[in-house]
A and B are shown apart, each in its own frame.
Chain A
Amino acid sequence: MRGKPLKLLVSGPVGAGKTTFIQSLSEIPVVETDEWASEEIGKERTTVAMDFGLLTLDGVPIYLFGTPGQERFDFMWDVLVEGALGLVVLVPGDSPRDFPKARHILEYLTSRHPVPFVVGVTRQDLPKVWTPGEVADYFGLPPEHVVGMNATSPTSATLALIRILELVTGERWQGVW
């Protein structure tokens, strides 16, 4: 029996790995809305509306929505986060210049919407990268709210989702972390 669908929102600055994160969790080909970037963002194509993927857990469909990273689409944040099961804000750990934008997004959304969240620090496979603990200090967050990850790894994305559910249920699964 299929349960009522839930929603997970993935947000973060341009190039943080949102589309890749959704691709690594989704059971279906991700619906992307890539277009040529209209401003200088360090890459040629980027998400302009949203990304969409689907994950099913215990018969419950979880819609995976990725927000566009460019500032002129900020108005979509409130619409997409409404009623979400959780929020993952991705930040590229090798690019501290993106941290203020990521913090801006996180604080805007989490102070206005009752949504549990984690910050995923991507590109942990690189040699010069901020650790999750260091990023937690910058964001002023308890360490359990920040996870290190490689957005291309399904295990890594699954662990981020597990962390959100742990935070909501208040239950820690022994031996996982």
Chain B
Amino acid sequence: MAIFGSLKDMPFPDLVGMLGRRSGVLEVFHLPGRKVGYTIALDGGKVLWVREGTKVLDPVQARSVLQELFRAEEGAFEFAQGTPPPPPNGQALGWPLERILLTTTTVVDELAAYRPHLPDPKTRFQAVALEVWLEEPLWSFWERARPLLAQGASAEDLGHRLGLPVEEVAYYLHKLRLAGKVAPVRAYQETRPDEEKRGLLRRLLASLMGRRG
């Protein structure tokens, strides 16, 4: 038995639904704009680990790859059934496939709906709440982004530092902003004008007030 084909004919969500509770290793390759393919280890319908080329991905990156695959319209796949190798770091993701299917579909739909409202990739945000309760995948993103957001970071900065697509980071920042966990940096509050400039501005203010009178 061989499970293989093209994502053009069998989109990734269909493939995931079809794999059901199987165990094995799914290779996805020939993706447009990608030099290396992805490998996903499945054990009884759960995702154990995700690899990009030879690099095992952390949970946030793994989720991002699954989202990318859910949107992919081209590419090839091949599934080798059997017992998959354990995760190299000993920590399995343990994500049930059907739940991934549901949450990823939600993210993809939400991303499409939010797209016109996403912040500019260069707009800087900072954390405004430290104790937060969030659902996945927002929680994993928050955990990784929090140290960078403490100083102020844009979607572009975070995407670069965390190895995530910029638009996906902009989506997470938008959601975190809606939840009141981050807010845009107001750069002028980070610097105080010197006394000479403040004096000048006071003069201008007095002049304006005189005009009003």
Contacts and interface: CB of A to CB of B under 8 A. Distances in A.
B33 interface: no
B209 A162 contact: yes
Contacts of B207: 57-58
Contacts of A159: 212
Contacts of B203: 57-58, 60
B184 to A, nearest CB: 4
A65 interface: no
A96 interface: no
Nearest to B186: A110
Given A58-B204, A162-B205, A162-B209, A110 B188 contact: yes
A166 B205 contact: yes
A162 B191 CA distance: 20
B208 interface: yes
A60 B204 contact: yes
Interface of B: 116-117, 119-120, 122-125, 152, 154, 177, 183-188, 190-191, 193, 198, 200-209, 211-212
* 5 A-B pairs with the lowest CB-CB distances in the bound complex, closest first: A111-B124, A58-B207, A107-B184, A165-B205, A111-B185
A116 B124 contact: no
13 contacts: A107-B120, A108-B122, A108-B123, A111-B152, A114-B188, A114-B190, A114-B191, A115-B188, A158-B208, A158-B211, A161-B208, A165-B201, A171-B205
A52 interface: no
A108 B125 CA distance: 10
Nearest to B118: A104
A127 interface: no
A3 B209 CA distance: 19
B17 to A, nearest CB: 36
A155 interface: yes
Interface residues of A, number: 32
Interface in A144-177: 155, 158-159, 161-162, 165-166, 168-169, 171, 173, 176
A42 interface: no
A112 interface: yes
Interface string A1-37: 0010010000000000000000000000000000000
Interface string A92-133: 000000001000100110111111110000000000000000
B199 to A, nearest CB: 9
Contact of B187 (A57, A104, A112, A158): A112
A115 B122 contact: no
A108 B154 CA distance: 10
Contacts of A140: 177, 183-184
A45 to B, nearest CB: 26
B212 A158 contact: yes
B147 to A, nearest CB: 18
A111 B187 contact: yes
Contacts of A161: 208
B202 A169 contact: yes
B188 A117 contact: yes
Contacts of B184: 107, 110-111, 140
A169 B212 contact: no
